[in-house]
A and B are shown apart, each in its own frame.
Chain A
Amino acid sequence: MATIVDIATEKALEVKNFEFTYAGADEPNIKKLTMPIAKHSITALIGPSGCGKTTLLRSFNRMHDLYPGNKYDGEILFKEKNILGPKEDLIKLRTQIGMIFQKPTAFPMSIFDNVAYGLRLQGLKNKTELQDRVEKALQDAAIWQEAKERLRHDANGLSGGQQQRLCIARAIAVEPEVLLFDEPTSALDPISTAGIEELVVELRKRVSIIIVTHNMQQAARVSDYTGFMYLGELVELGRTEEIFVTPKERLTEEYITGKFG
């Protein structure tokens, strides 16, 4: 069984005996995973490549449903409700749990329309309100200064780091409760990376964050809690200082000291 620290605060999500099997896989890719996710905190998921971090992350917003044949078991509780049920309203779920991807994914439209996209999907038509919410989101994502002069320009004209912040603005514009980050800086240069990290820390005040990273320093820098996964299982979840200084599991220690990876 995994070693799991008590989460003092409220929980944003609770994973209980969760299993996930990709279409065609012989055995579950995630096995009997139990894990609380603290509210208004940053939880980092670390572990060697292929251990199931992305797979777990994409279960929180049911991204796997886009492809047929994938199978969930167990429970993921969000607002005291299991989101894995067949009747779950995925559209609503995805507006409440947002996601940022490995690479910037600016839509083929203007900067403004990118950020307004989620709002418009929800039916927001009022021009001034749209304007306000877009501006607010861009400010919160620390890209307003760079973007304000060219809101009507194609978003693909922005640099990689700017685009990633645009994607964050787009995600927070709809005011989600949880934000999922899947290695959001893996395609970025060090300076952009530092900017995104700062932003993530700042966002914690408003949303609960889960961030997958293959970069242990990044996990140490930004997160409050760190979960170490190995071969589809959670090995240890603890306060980040503890995980990196006094891990309870041998496997965790071996991983963070670089004995394998």
Chain B
Amino acid sequence: MTHTQKRIVTNKIIMVLSTLSAVIGIGFLLWILSVLVINGVDALSATIFLNEGAPPGNENGGLKHALIGQLLLVSYASLFGVPLGILAGTYLSEYGLKSKLAETIRDISDIMMSAPSIVIGAFVYAIVVAPSGQFSGWAGSIALMIIMLPIILRTTDDMLHLVPSTLREAAFALGAPKYKVIIQVVYRGAKAGVLTGVLLGVARVAGETAPLLFTSFNDNFLNTDMSQPMASLTVTMYNYATSPYEDWQKLGWAAAFILSMFILTLNILGRLFLLKKRGK
């Protein structure tokens, strides 16, 4: 075989291997998705949304408690995390610019985005759960907020940065004060991007389990009091799936399905916003 023939053969082999790894990778992921959809749809029913948790063996168990708990946990986390994140991101993009402080905040936020979320749970346990003597919805929301903050901060920073500086200058030239320029010109210009960041941030914390395990803990019944332990879809999913009871496991799949659909929807919406913006 000549050298070039060898190269051609090697090339063929590698191309086949690459395609194969793509097939394997995607095969696994399709497997997981189909398992999720098949089990999830199978377990889905109206009672799931109407009923609270029930002891194993009781056919009427639902996920209402977990759905509402999840909604409360994520909503409160977003209620604080989103505006704080946007404001901090605004500082980086509009005031801090390339200053040492701003760059440090960027670096640390980047690292925090990939840091283990269970550690945040431990931190919140120490500062909220232990002093108050009990697990609570608040503790869970605070943990989620801490995880969400760097995500929103960094996307806001990047998205505001994309607004052309000529736009800012034009507004300044009209004599507008800086905060007005930011609110009326920069935010408006970066609306789609910031919204995408928010959606992705919310999607990310909605799927978090580990930091809730010992903050909001769990509750098998409906509770809307944030100062009490609170159910979430993710922790419920974990508890039900690892339980030996088949009806609980089934509910676990339903929770997994609902949660995944919610998160995928947020992700797809986020992408569409960005695409629409680029299309313009």
Contacts and interface: CB of A to CB of B under 8 A. Distances in A.
B99 interface: no
Size bin of chain A's contact surface? under 10
B8 interface: yes
Contacts of A92: 4
A121 B2 CA distance: 11
Interface in A120-166: 121-123
Interface string B1-31: 0111001100000000000000000000000
Contacts of A123: 2-4
B2 to A, nearest CB: 7
| Smallest CB-CB A-B distances: 9 pairs | A123-B3, A91-B4, A122-B4, A122-B3, A123-B4, A123-B2, A121-B7, A91-B8, A121-B4
A122 to B, nearest CB: 6
Nearest to B3: A123
Interface in A92-140: 92, 121-123
Interface in A40-93: 91-92
B25 to A, nearest CB: 22
Interface of B: 2-4, 7-8
Nearest to A91: B4
11 contacts: A91-B4, A91-B7, A91-B8, A92-B4, A121-B4, A121-B7, A122-B3, A122-B4, A123-B2, A123-B3, A123-B4
Contacts, number: 11
A92 to B, nearest CB: 8
Given A91-B4, A121-B7, A122-B4, 8 more contacts: A91-B7, A91-B8, A92-B4, A121-B4, A122-B3, A123-B2, A123-B3, A123-B4
Nearest to A124: B3
Contacts of B4: 91-92, 121-123
Nearest to A95: B4
A121 B7 CA distance: 8
A92 B7 CA distance: 12
B119 to A, nearest CB: 38
A122 B5 CA distance: 10
Contacts of B3: 122-123
Nearest to A123: B3
Contacts of B7: 91, 121
A165 B38 CA distance: 61
A91 B8 CA distance: 9
A208 to B, nearest CB: 23
Contacts of B8: 91
Contacts of B2: 123
A74 B4 CA distance: 29
Nearest to B8: A91
Contacts of A121: 4, 7
A121 B8 CA distance: 11
B15 to A, nearest CB: 14
B240 to A, nearest CB: 48
Contacts of A91: 4, 7-8
Nearest to A121: B7
A165 B77 CA distance: 60
A6 B7 CA distance: 42
B19 to A, nearest CB: 15
B3 to A, nearest CB: 3
A122 B8 CA distance: 11
Nearest to A120: B3
A121 B6 CA distance: 10
A114 to B, nearest CB: 19
Contacts of A122: 3-4
A92 B2 CA distance: 13
Interface string A166-190: 0000000000000000000000000
A121 B4 CA distance: 7
A62 to B, nearest CB: 16
A90 to B, nearest CB: 10
A92 B8 CA distance: 12
A123 B10 CA distance: 14
A91 B7 CA distance: 10
Nearest to B2: A123
A12 to B, nearest CB: 23
A77 B274 CA distance: 48
B242 to A, nearest CB: 48
A92 B3 CA distance: 12
User: Which residue of B2, B3, B8 has the most chain A CB atoms within 10 A of its CB atom?
Assistant: B3
B12 to A, nearest CB: 13
Nearest to B11: A91
Nearest to B7: A121
A237 B211 CA distance: 74
A122 B4 CA distance: 6
A186 B8 CA distance: 35
B58 to A, nearest CB: 58
